[in-house]
Amino acid sequence: MTDAHPTTIADTRSALLDRKVSAVDITRASLAAIDRLNPSLNAATQVFHDAALQRAAQLDARIADRRAAPLPLLGATIALKDNICLDSAYGDARTTCASRTLEHYRSPFTASAVQRLIDAGAIIVAKTNLDEFAMGSSTEHSIFGPTRNPFDRTRVCGGSSGGSACAVAAGMAAAALGSDTGGSIRQPAGWCNLFALKPTYGRVSRYGLVAYASSLDQIGPFARCVADTALLTSAICGHDPADSTSAGLPSPDLTSDLDRPIDKLVLGVPRQARSAANHPAVTAALDAAIKTFSHLGAVVIDIDLPHAEHGIAAYYIIATAEASSNLARFDGIRYGHRAELAPSDDLFDLYARSRAEGLGPEVQRRIMLGTHVLSSGYYDAYYNTALKARRLIKRDFDDAFAGTARAASRPSHACHAVLMPTSPGPAFALGERSSDPMSMYLEDIYTVGVNLAGLPAITIPAGFHRDGASNLPIGLQLIGPALAEGELTRIARMFELATSHSSIRPALA
């Protein structure tokens, strides 16, 4: 196929300002790619043909008026995960969360992060598929059906932001936004050969993101290169008075010294990253990345994150507890699908039937688990214990960044970042784990700790695994201390320049 987005966002912006191409042309190419590829990949849930072209025409008029200041994301086509609100005036958009209970919901406002992209010159072309209410690791739990991996359409593309990852990998959009509660940006990016950044908790406003677990959720970008990732992250960060958890900090400029390598770089590799459960290709990619960073002059040390083994248990207690509270509003009265009732039914029947009909099995499972761990007699045993484990997991990371983590080598060093896999294996086959929730949950074993600790992390393309005719991407992640998005993007850029993994695109007919 002819790629609709062969250049970076900065290159596209330069071409637009030089009048070598128009925003309408770029948008038409993006929409054509969606129309051609989406029937087989199922990445987009809504496509905004008219609204996107209208927006592009407005940008072309702005470019023609040379008095207007150039915008940093001028002409960038963006896809949005369908749990991020977009005003219904924009192409009569809906925010469905891939759930029957919200399949007709039209938001009266646009999420703050999205509005910042629009204000910076971006063009929203589509909403993308996800696991219902962002609860999943494969984008199979959706009323729209599963999204397929563009590198192998018999396999999943990860979740819950699988549609966003697929759209960018397949060239449907220049970039996309997703949400990351326990790895839902980083994991699908790894399986679709993309860069993706989960910012520090509070860096990006959650206003307009439909809540799954409020103390864990963060919006972040998918892109094909580090420069685009840095540019998008800079655009969406910053304080927002509409979000009480928003950090009172200005938006960082992650692009100013992106190409300046970090002197005396120190990376920590946890012993837990070499689990026996890892696929050999993941271990090989990790070893190769260590070798690459060592050749770049980095000091790579072994560290211990002793409480990492409790991450999955703590995450699936805390996240489901918060979900049981957040999703209580979808009761068929205030929000969501309302069931048809018989004359003899009462209010309880309305609640029970509306939620049973509107919410899928995985969402129901997590709500019931969350309600259980918060119930009288179990609160201390489960929820409070999970909060204690969360604090210890954060302390382990803090020790690594301070140079006080237990290490196999001495003397100990303060790490600039922690290097580890995003997933224990490459993408698995569609339907392979649908009947085994625990095996699905374990796909998040390397990602949930970042959310529990509120830290930033970036996925980097790190290699491929050949399986028959398929070439399956392998992703690694770099985890940094709070507010270290600048250092993380610079480290990722060092790796990007030293390798060719990110240049490989899926072969799409």
Could you list the active site residues?
81, 160, 184
- CA distance between the termini of the chain: 6
The closest alpha carbon to 339, from 364, 356, 324, 326, belongs to: 356
Tokens standing for residue 80: 């949005």
- Which position has the token pair 């830290």? 455
Cβ pair 231, 72 in contact under 8 A: yes
Residue 29: C-alpha distances to residues 58, 173, 312, 460 (Å): 17, 9, 42, 27
DSSP state of 176: E
Report which secondary-structure segment, H or E, holds 373: helix 361-374
Tokens standing for residue 49: 């043909």
- Which position has the token pair 């987009």? 44
Whole-angstrom distance, CA of residue 13 vs CA of residue 73: 7
- Which position has the token pair 């992250």? 233
Whole-angstrom distance, CA of residue 375 vs CA of residue 356: 21
- At 386 the three-state DSSP class reads helix
The closest alpha carbon to 226, from 200, 201, 194, 257, belongs to: 194
Tokens standing for residue 395: 């302390």
The sheet that has 417-421: what strands, in order across it? 44-47, 123-128, 77-81, 175-180, 218-223, 195-198, 457-467, 470-479, 417-421, 266-270, 299-303
Residue 227: C-alpha distances to residues 33, 122, 194, 391 (Å): 23, 16, 12, 33
Cβ pair 156, 94 in contact under 8 A: no
